[in-house]
Amino acid sequence: MKQYLCILTCSLSLCALTSHGQITLDSTVVSEEVIATNLDVPWEILWGPDDLIWFTERDDGRVGRVDPETGIRDTLLVISDVYHTSESGLLGMALHPDFTNPDSAFVYLVYTYYNGSSIRERLVRYRYQNNALINPAILIDNIPGNGNHNGSRLMFGPDGKLYMTTGDAQNTSNPQNQNTVAGKILRINTDGSIPSDNPDNGSYVWTFGHRNPQGLVWASNGILYSSEHGPNNDDEINIISVGENYGWPDVEGYCNSSPEITFCNNNNVVEPIRAWTPTIALAGLDYYDHEAIPEWQNSLLLVTLKSDDFRVFKLNAAGDTILSEVIHLNDDYGRLRDLCISPSGDIYISTSNRDGRANNGFPISADDRIIKLYNANYSPTGIPTGTHRASSYNLFPNPSTGRLNIRTNGATNREHTIEIMDSVGHVVKESSWTGQQGYMDVSTLPPGAYLYVITAEDGRRDAGRFVLVK
């Protein structure tokens, strides 16, 4: 029986929130600010519906949250049977897409453990209740693991399914072997069962031929992208398509040697849209399309561990080609592990300088840290003055495929009105409801990012953003 500790603690960051520098773009100045310090190898960071940054700490099995405004942290869980050596430990995390519904307040975690003879990996679902994670349910167990090459990035798709990367566990026979889930990207129902429309009946496998993918993002353009560690050559960014073979170990990067070309032709291998030799140790991956930083709209954002930098990849309109690559934060903060984006377009990046591989003068005493990148001069177009941070309402799922559920945390007998606006502030849809929960059909709108303003009966207004995908 897995033991766990549910600990709720609050601690104020030892360092005050401080600015470090700026990134000057064509017409935008992006400010940098450290919002959290003294973390222990934060492997996953994500923006929660409570407007807090949720994080996992790899080495000690801790799940916590930090308020990006105050730096105050709390601990939700410490998993006692996490086994850490080298790059293994507590890794990926995802929140159920309907998390604000008490019946679906689930957190999904991936970690490695030791079974007495070997390192294995498991996917576990916890219930969030009273500021703690309780009632663990193992969804997938006995996944091949190792000190390195464990994959473990989690991401919910617009179809409501959970996508999970797995590494080859340092066994190159795994990725092409359909009888193991190692070296794959998996697609999973929220209860841990196998979706009936997966490529192979009775299998979690969505794609195969992977070495160690540790970045995964569903973009608002409907494309699933991944970043994958190569050996000493050919780190990759891939577009993930159902049922496809991505080549490892027979293909490294592009199909550009005679044996690789033969294997690619015989096995319909999908080539990356970008590859690097020498490697840069690419890690967390996200998609940016927010008006707060217009120069970075329709771009993939990537952080790296070996090159110690943050990269912006401008995409073409179809999202299938990288048009440009710009490097920022080179050696400014050391190794960078993951990133997330807030609804207001702020970008948060976690360092990984206490993982035993730092260089260039790191770690420093404040490591590990979370850094905020933001446009201090940005205010959302079309949002009226008098609105404030959206804390009284929850909209879900986000991204949405056509139906928006709206839940109020305030009085249940008031009337509420929601206005949906496009990126230039034009109202494209409006609806009202009375009570604690309402919904809106947005299926007739074109896919993209939208603003919303909710006005309560007493005149109070909240504002935010959501993404519609189809």
Domain boundaries, the chain: 4-374, 388-468
List b or e across 113-125, with b for residues whose CB sees 16 or more CB atoms inside 10 angstroms.
Answer: beeeeebbbbbbb
Residue 396, pLDDT score: 81
pLDDT of residue 469: 82
Distance separating alpha carbons of residues 442 and 383, to the nearest angstrom: 19
pLDDT of residue 460: 73
pLDDT for the residue numbered 378 = 86
Q: What is the pLDDT of residue 384?
A: 52
The per-residue pLDDT for 400 is 86
pLDDT at residue 380 in the model: 66
Q: What is the CATH number of domain 388-468?
A: 2.60.40.1220
Q: Closest Cα to residue 306, out of 378, 233, 224?
A: 233
Compute CA 418 distance to the chain's CA centroid, rounded to the nearest angstrom: 28
State which residues of the chain have pLDDT below 50. Answer: 1-19, 385-391
Per-residue confidence (pLDDT) for residue 4, from 0 to 100: 29
pLDDT tens figures, 144-196: 999 999 999 999 999 999 999 999 999 999 999 999 999 999 999 999 999 99
What CATH class is the domain 4-374? mainly beta
pLDDT at 19: 46
> Which residue, chain included where needed, has tokens 């994958």?
228
CB neighbourhood size of 458 (10 A): 9
pLDDT of residue 386: 46
Condensed to tens digits (0 to 9), the pLDDT of residues 267-304 reads 999 999 999 999 999 999 999 999 999 999 999 999 99
Residues 227, 237: Cα–Cα separation, whole Å: 5
